[in-house]
Amino acid sequence: MGNSGEMINNDSKKLKVKATNLTKRFEMLETTSNKMKTLFGLNRDKGQEFWALRNVSFEVYDGETIGIIGLNGSGKSTISTLISGTMTPTTGSLSVNGNVSIIALGTGLIPNLTGRENIHVVGLMMGMTKKEIAEKLDDIINFSELGPFIDQPLKTYSSGMKAKLSFSIAAYQNPDILIIDEVLSVGDGTFGQKSADKMFEFRKQGKTILLISHDMLAIEKWCDKVLWLHYGEVKGYGPTNEILPQYINFVQWFIHLPAEQQDEYKDRVRGEQLTYSTEILKEELADEYNKNPKSYSRRGLEEQLDFVRNNKLSIASKLFLVLLAFICFIGIAFYTSSATSIKALADPRGFLTQNLFKTSPSFSDKLNNEIISMSISTKKKEEKKAAQNIHKSTTTESSKLTSAESKAKKGSLPSNSKQSSTEQISSSSETQTYTVQPGDTLGEIAEAHNTTVAEIQAINPGIELSLISPGQVINLPENKSTESQ
């Protein structure tokens, strides 16, 4: 490699990532309806295709640190999302052997939550249990060097603070494969060195690191090999001391071009990404096959390309999906009230969207509920503190009034006389808002707020309360209360 450390012997190493003839195609559709039609193979207005990756192949072994470099828009982040499993390739095969953690600036972080709360959320997203998060929480906070800022909202953080938090969370996931996407370049020098030490610790443990960066010094210092992506294609892949100088020479050549020639070059290579097709890929694969027939199965690749080219659903598949949607709609209608059924028939699309998978929440739903619960908890704490301050102020004023009344009546009443009075303080006609929490029912909400379902329905006209969901805001009558003086 182009830095200190031993060379990697692939014969004795375990293959962690293997990409073979990968492509990733996006259709640049303008409207949601066109996207839905495309999903069912009904969209006649085909959007402009953009090939973010074109015939990409490489192998990564355990213990290797691979630098992924290239100009902006070359597909570096796309390849990282494919390896992490967030997206799937259009063609080709991708084998990933091990758990993957990806660190990118702001990935998974929620601005309105505190750093501590974000640790819980991102930990859940990465597959950690609540127990594991609790056990590692102090270590993550200490490693992040955020100190008291850990309990401040993320929206108040600088980019460097966000990078520290992201890296610290991922560092304690104990992943097999760690993807670092432009995070280390925004941290301070001290934290950068600590992060580098952590990376080398991972390498000694036989873990694999993929480092995406524009910092050539970091690439040269830390990486065994370099993958140079150039507008979706592999321009070079090999030892750092071979590929990195080639890339640096290209960058120097490019930046010394006049601005007009730079734009012309970008337009040309981006145009190739727009005009690429499976037919061009077939020609490339045929050339590769003729040069090395034993490298892969040509028949398998051609079958996959035919599937991509003819990926529209058959008539039978379309009819099956329509029938399945109709059966689900009828089933839901039978298990709801007549009023709800009328609403469902009036707006079937909205009804299915809200209720089709309501009984089986997905992981994202559970995560959203967890986030909502955290937000509600924070809001309740603030409301409780404000209520306590109001109560203290009211109690002080009440004490002053009672003392003044006692002094005024002391001369006219016997000392042994007792006088008491009870006043009923009528409830205000004003309403209060309430955010529905996971697991809430309308009856439970009414009971908890000393009201009835009928009263809640009366002050929420136009809202179908039988379909309440976590995060929904509804109006409630003010609680009736009595105070004794």
CATH architecture of structural domain 429-477:
Roll (3.10)
Q: Is 218 exposed, middle or buried (0-12, 13-18, 19+ CB in 10 A)?
A: middle
Query: pTM of the full predicted structure?
Result: 0.60
Q: Is 424 exposed, middle or buried (0-12, 13-18, 19+ CB in 10 A)?
A: exposed
- pLDDT of 485: 39
Question: Is the CATH code 3.40.50.300 the one for domain 10-308?
Answer: yes
Q: What is the pLDDT of residues 350-397, one digit of tens each?
A: 555 555 444 445 555 555 666 666 666 666 666 666 666 666 555 555
Question: What is the band of 4 on the pLDDT scale with cuts at 50, 70, 90?
Answer: very low
Q: What is the pLDDT of residues 424-483, one digit of tens each?
A: 333 344 788 888 887 777 777 877 888 877 778 788 876 766 567 778 888 888 764 433
- pLDDT of 362: 54
Structural contact between residues 166 and 104, judged by C-beta atoms closer than 8 angstroms: yes
Q: What is the pLDDT of residues 211-240, one digit of tens each?
A: 998 888 889 988 999 999 999 999 999 999
- pLDDT of 447: 77
Structural contact between residues 61 and 8, judged by C-beta atoms closer than 8 angstroms: yes
Q: Which residue has the higher pLDDT, 260 or 330?
A: 260
Residue appearing with tokens 């210092």: 221
Share of the chain above pLDDT 70, in %: 62
Structural contact between residues 208 and 113, judged by C-beta atoms closer than 8 angstroms: no
- pLDDT of 115: 93
CA 46 vs CA 4, 52, 54, 55, 278: distances in Å = 51, 18, 20, 23, 16
398: tokens are 């009440």
Q: Which residue has the higher pLDDT, 181 or 189?
A: 181
Q: Which amino acid is at 214?
A: H
Residue appearing with tokens 């924070």: 378
DSSP at 481: -
What is the Cα–Cα distance from 456 to 13, expressed in whole angstroms?
A: 66
Question: What is the band of 308 on the pLDDT scale with cuts at 50, 70, 90?
Answer: low
| Residue closest to 165 by CA, chosen among 176, 178, 149, 179 | 149
